[in-house]
Amino acid sequence: MSRIHSSAVVDSRAELAGDVEIGPGAVIGPQVKIDTGTVVGPHVVIDGDVTIGRDNRIFAHAVLGTPPQDLKYRNEPTRLVLGDANLIREFVTIHRGTPHGGGVTRIGSHVFLMAYVHVAHDNQLGDHVVVANSVQVAGHVEIAEHAVIGGCSAIHQFVRVGAHAFVGGGSVVVMDVPPFCKAAGNRARLIGLNGTGLRRRGFPVDQVRLLRRSYRLAFQSELLVAEAADLIAEQILPRCPPAALLVDFLRQPSQRGITH
């Protein structure tokens, strides 16, 4: 049976699994669905069409699923979807999607959003993403798996941050950050391969070496982006399967351009 504090306001139409915990003063709207093992802290507000997976921990004063901050939004039906085992710390805000942005804001699993993070409408966050305190993420942003965003950074709308990338604290990111790369500054520029992060995640030494060579081809040579992608695919990908993430990223269309 769910444990709901006597001061919480939970709409009778909300769907809560049997062992969900709702803290004092929390407000849960009628379209909310929360799966088993999730704990909702004091004074959290979850409203709109929101689906939350298993074993999430949502800390005090977080606000999830409220309407997007978009002047074009006219109260159309849109959603927020969270996976499993996420940590959503104090005062985090996550807005649901917009019709022109696909309609869904999506947070993967094992994501850590630290205090005061804002995740705007239509964002797509992959698994194991870490976003440090007070980061502001504009709409339509994609942050791929295992990316880390340093505290007090700002990310422009439509930016892509690739898998295993690292953004230094206090950065202003206005262009895409490729997989495996480090970026920092205002405006953010590439500062090398995220070698430390890759080693911490168990990438073999030979793969890190080949990814470093890929970085040099893509961002420290005179090759065009498309030429670098083709060369990486031909020379490095057969020996380093993770390089496919970089090749695909370079070949995909970019609305903001790629940080260099």
pLDDT at 227: 97
pLDDT, position 2 = 80
Same structural domain, 209 and 133: no
Residues 202, 132, single domain; the answer is no
Mark whether 124 and 40 lie in a shared domain: yes
CATH number, domain with residue 104: 2.160.10.10
Q: Which of 121, 140, 146, 156 is catalytic?
A: 121
Assigned domain for 76 exists: yes
Cβ-based burial of 235 (10 A; exposed 0-12, middle 13-18, buried ≥19): middle
Question: Does residue 133 have a pLDDT over 70?
Answer: yes
- Other Cβ atoms closer than 10 A to 75: 6
> Above 90 in pLDDT, residue 137?
yes
Query: Does residue 1 surpass a pLDDT of 70?
Result: no
Q: Which run of H or of E encompasses 114?
A: none
Q: Give the DSSP H/E element, type plus range, for residue 87.
A: strand 87-88
Report d(CA 39, CA 24) in Å as an integer.
12
Among residues 91, 92, 45, 101, the alpha carbon closest in space to that of 68 is found at 101
Decide if 191 is inside a domain.
Answer: no
121 is catalytic: yes
Whether a cis peptide bond, with omega within 30° of 0, leads into 3 is no
Q: Say if residue 131 is in the same domain as residue 41.
A: yes
Domain for residue 181, yes or no? no
Report the percentage of the chain scoring pLDDT > 90. Answer: 99
Residues 206 and 134 in one domain: no
Active site residue 29: no
Contact between residue 177 and residue 195 where contact means Cβ atoms under 8 Å apart:
no
12: in domain:
yes
Say if residue 135 is in the same domain as residue 35.
Answer: yes
What CATH number did the domain enclosing 206 receive?
Answer: 1.20.1180.10
Q: Return the CA Rg of the chain.
A: 20
**Can you count the helices (H) and strands (E) in the chain?**
4, 28
Q: How many domains, the chain?
A: 2
128 and 205 together in one domain: no
| pLDDT tens profile 45-58 | 999 999 999 999 99
In this structure, is residue 27 part of a structural domain? yes
Residues 108 and 22 in one domain: yes
Q: Which of 35, 47, 49, 122 is catalytic?
A: 122
Q: Is position 145 within any domain? A: no
Range of the domain at 76: 3-140
Active-site residue identified among 48, 139, 150, 162: 139
132, 205: one domain: no
Would residue 216 count as lying in a domain? yes
Does the annotation count 61 as an active-site position?
A: no
Residue 224 maps to a domain: yes
Helix residue spans in 128-242 (DSSP H): 195-200, 205-219, 225-235
Say if residue 8 is in the same domain as residue 89: yes
